[in-house]
Amino acid sequence: MIAVEGLRKRFGRHLALDDLDFVVPEGEIFGFLGPNGAGKTTTIRILATLARPDGGSARIAGVAVDRDPYGVQRVVGYMPDFFGVYDRLNATEYLEFYGACHDLPAPRRRRVARELLELVDLTARASDQVDTLSRGMKQRLCLARALVHNPQVLLLDEPASGLDPRARIEMRDLIRELRRMGKTILISSHIVPELEELCTWIGVIDRGRVVEVGPKADVLRRATAGQRLRIALAGAGDDRLAAAAARVGTWTGVLDVEVVDGCLEAAIGPDLAAHRLLRDLVEAGFDVAEFTPLAGSLSDLFMRLTGDPEPPARANEEGG
């Protein structure tokens, strides 16, 4: 649905995108994760036809972004990370205005506005001025704005930015509902737990390059170098745990071992077979009650793959 190949963008001496490559399959929620300044917002602005790349290509629903921007705008709904609103309009008028911008006939604009306000749970605030709405309500209204022309693809730049926990849950539920409605969704964020819970595909960007991409389950399997094990001993006190930790630590290929919540957690390299470590503990007289691999987290992957990017020359345009 979205195909990006060799995308490049430079702002003066700052290289914002450096041969960027990734694909977003149809019907997925793609989490575009990276530190501030990694190139997320620049990428989304190019996909939304608000900036032109210096090289490479991008296609959305088969439409070339640089060759047919109006065609892209018909299939894409864009929600920026920072947006202006027409504060003196009420919520209905706001959506009808954007419906007019997309050439919707007046009767259809009114119907679409009603349906979208119901979708984002703002029907009760339909006649309220936009400037009286809470931050979370404004976010939902702006998401509704991106939906007025029923796009196939949504580009959401930091949609949960500045929201309280309840508003974040509401936004997350709404995005899941949009996926059930058949939308393909790209979400840019640097909030790792949000993306880990919500997204079905993950792409990690750093210094203008994608450094990891794929289905979330596959990405999480690659989230740690080697493997991390949880080892529980039956009825073991602190001394016994310390002795087991010391023994595990003597093995070549054990990268780290520590006591966490009454159990051992050991990071092992790819060359060490876990079953050999288990057999050694049992033969040494340790009563092993649990010996299981721990799934890598997206936070682990994020910290391992990303560094502090160089400060962008113009943060408002390139900082994402």
User: How does DSSP classify residue 309?
Assistant: P
- Tell me: the pLDDT tens digits for 201-223? 999 999 999 999 999 888 877 66
**What is the reported pLDDT for 83?**
65
**pTM beyond 0.85, yes or no:** no
Top-confidence residue, 309 or 247: 247
- Domains of the chain (ranges; CATH) run 2-221+302-318 (3.40.50.300), 227-294 (3.30.70.100)
Give kind and range of the element (H or E) at residue 229: strand 227-233
- Tell me: the pLDDT tens digits for 104-127? 999 999 999 999 999 999 999 999
3-state SS, 207-221, equals CCEEEEEEEHHHHHH
Residue with tokens 């792409």: 203
Q: Of 1, 10, 32, whose CA–CA distance to 198 is shortest? A: 32
Q: What is the mean pLDDT of residues 4-8?
A: 96
Tokens of 304: 């391992």
211: phi then psi, degrees, rounded to nearest 5 = -105, -10
- Tell me: the pLDDT tens digits for 248-276? 999 988 888 988 888 998 888 877 888 89
Identity of the amino acid at 94 = Y
Distance (Å, whole) CA 240 – CA 45: 57
- Tell me: the pLDDT tens digits for 44-57? 999 999 999 999 99
Residue 312: pLDDT band by 50, 70, 90 thresholds?
very low
Q: What is the mean pLDDT of residues 16-28?
A: 95
Residue 173: pLDDT band by 50, 70, 90 thresholds?
very high
Q: Say what percent of the chain tops pLDDT 70.
A: 92
**What is the reported pLDDT for 320?**
59
- CA angle 103/135/107 to nearest 5° reads 25
Q: Residue 261: exposed, middle, or buried by beta-carbon count in 10 A (0-12, 13-18, 19+)?
A: exposed
Identity of the amino acid at 109 = R
Alpha-carbon dihedral 160, 146, 203, 316, rounded to 10 degrees: -70
Residue with tokens 């190139």: 39
**Inter-residue contact 148 to 98 (CB < 8 Å):** yes
Distance (Å, whole) CA 291 – CA 249: 16
Residue with tokens 């007046």: 106
Is the pLDDT at 174 greater than 80? The verdict is yes
Q: Of 107, 91, 122, 6, whose CA–CA distance to 57 is shortest? A: 6
Q: Say what percent of the chain tops pLDDT 90.
A: 62
Tokens of 235: 């009825």
**Inter-residue contact 186 to 30 (CB < 8 Å):** yes
Is the pLDDT at 94 greater than 80? The verdict is yes
Distance (Å, whole) CA 211 – CA 239: 43
**What is the reported pLDDT for 295?**
67
Top-confidence residue, 223 or 192: 192
Q: Of 259, 206, 220, 290, whose CA–CA distance to 35 is shortest? A: 206
**What is the reported pLDDT for 40?**
93
Instruction: Compute how many other C-beta atoms are within 10 angstroms of the C-beta atom of residue 46.
Output: 24
